[in-house]
Amino acid sequence: MEESVEGARSFLTSGDAYDTFMGRYSRPLAAAFADAAGVSPGHRTLDVGCGPGALTGVLVSRVGAERVSAFDPSPPFVAECAARHPGVEVLLGRAEQIPFGEATFDSALAQLVLHFVTDPAQAAGEMRRVVRPGGVVAACVWDFDQGMEMLRHFWDSATAIQPDAPDEARTLRFGREGEIAELFEAAGFDGVGETTLQVSSTYASFDELWSGFLAGIGPAGSFCVALPDDQRENLRSDLFGRLGSPSGPFALAATARCASGTVPS
CATH class of 8-262: alpha beta
- Residue 1 clears pLDDT 50, i.e. is over it: no
Tell me the per-residue pLDDT of 20-65, one tens digit each, with 9 for 90 and over. 788 899 999 999 999 999 999 999 999 999 999 999 999 999 999 9
What does the pLDDT average to over 136-156?
A: 92
Residue 57's pLDDT is: 97
164: burial class by Cβ within 10 Å (0-12, 13-18, 19+)?
exposed
The span from the CA of 46 to the CA of 107, in Å, is 6
Helices (H), 8-112: 15-18, 24-37, 54-63, 75-84
Split at pLDDT 50, 70, 90, the class of 14 is low
The percentage of residues in the chain with a pLDDT greater than 90, rounded to a whole number, is: 83
Where do the domains of the chain lie?
8-262
Residue 225's pLDDT is: 95
